[in-house]
Chain A
Amino acid sequence: KNEVEQSPQNLTAQEGEFITINCSYSVGISALHWLQQHPGGGIVSLFMLSSGKKKHGRLIATINIQEKHSSLHITASHPRDSAVYICAVCQETSGSRLTFGEGTQLTVNP
């Protein structure tokens, strides 16, 4: 079992839909990152959080430390949101390394 599990693996939505991607982890963490990877490989950091909730534009990230769970929400989804979304955790035992989930492939159709 991976230390970081994401669900779903693949998600197809219609433009305008509300989207939720989930991340569960089994280790103690000091921070969690949400990343976006577009075709061609470029990775962009969306959020880094260790508690509560953060919002940036149409993106919202939440984390529940007790339940070892985080969610990434996209409101009013758009085809340009199509990408792979990756959850990565920084374990308490190591401040230097991130452990990544396998990613969620999101496709938003017009």
Chain B
Amino acid sequence: GAGVSQSPRYKVAKRGQDVALRCDPISGHVSLFWYQQALGQGPEFLTYFQNEAQLDKSGLPSDRFFAERPEGSVSTLKIQRTQQEDSAVYLCASSWGLAHLFEQYFGPGTRLTVT
């Protein structure tokens, strides 16, 4: 079956613009995770959904970042008033459940460049 897909793969935004990044998880996966990966570094956790419920958003760096998963499937990560420090690869992963019980399947990422 299809893996995790993300769109767009690349996004260039001018500073101050709003962006929306989409994640399509593997069908049936209950858990969905968003991560931010700066160049040359490991990913960092942003937020976690179990079905449509956002159970952990402690990694979101500011209130400009907002994520939703309204029907428990597709998720959107929105960044308002983008700033240069938001430039990174945004990774989405899905799994059958919690991170300590199940492996995660990663999407290819969206590379965001803020100019």
A residues contacting B by CB (< 8 A) are 4, 29-31, 33, 35, 40-45, 48, 50, 86, 88, 90, 94-103
Whether A90 and B100, one on each chain, are in contact in the complex, defined by CB atoms closer than 8 angstroms, is: yes
Which chain A positions have C-beta within 8 A of B33? Answer: 96-98
Whether B108 and A95, one on each chain, are in contact in the complex, defined by CB atoms closer than 8 angstroms, is: no
Q: A43-B106, A97-B48, A101-B42 are in contact. Are A31 and B101 (CB under 8 A)?
A: yes
Is there a chain A Cβ closer than 8 Å to B43's Cβ? Answer: yes
Instruction: Kindly state the separation between the CA atoms of A98 and B33 in the bound complex, as whole angstroms.
Output: 10
Instruction: Kindly state the separation between the CA atoms of A101 and B42 in the bound complex, as whole angstroms.
Output: 6
Stretch of B14-22, B53-61, B79-87 at the chain-chain interface: B53-61
Least distance between A52 CB and chain B CB atoms (Å): 16
Whether B99 and A31, one on each chain, are in contact in the complex, defined by CB atoms closer than 8 angstroms, is: yes
Closest to A103 in B: B42
From B37, B42, B93, B99, contact of A95 by CB (8 A): B99
Interface centre among A50, A90, A100 (most CB of B within 10 A): A100
Closest to A45 in B: B103
Q: A95-B98, A97-B59 are in contact. Are A102 and B104 (CB under 8 A)?
A: no
Whether A86 and B42, one on each chain, are in contact in the complex, defined by CB atoms closer than 8 angstroms, is: yes
Which chain B positions have C-beta within 8 A of A45? Answer: 103-106
Instruction: Kindly state the separation between the CA atoms of A100 and B91 in the bound complex, as whole angstroms.
Output: 13
A-B contact pairs, 17 of them (CB 8 A): A4-B42, A31-B100, A40-B108, A41-B37, A41-B89, A41-B109, A41-B111, A42-B106, A45-B105, A48-B102, A88-B42, A88-B43, A95-B100, A96-B55, A96-B99, A100-B44, A103-B41
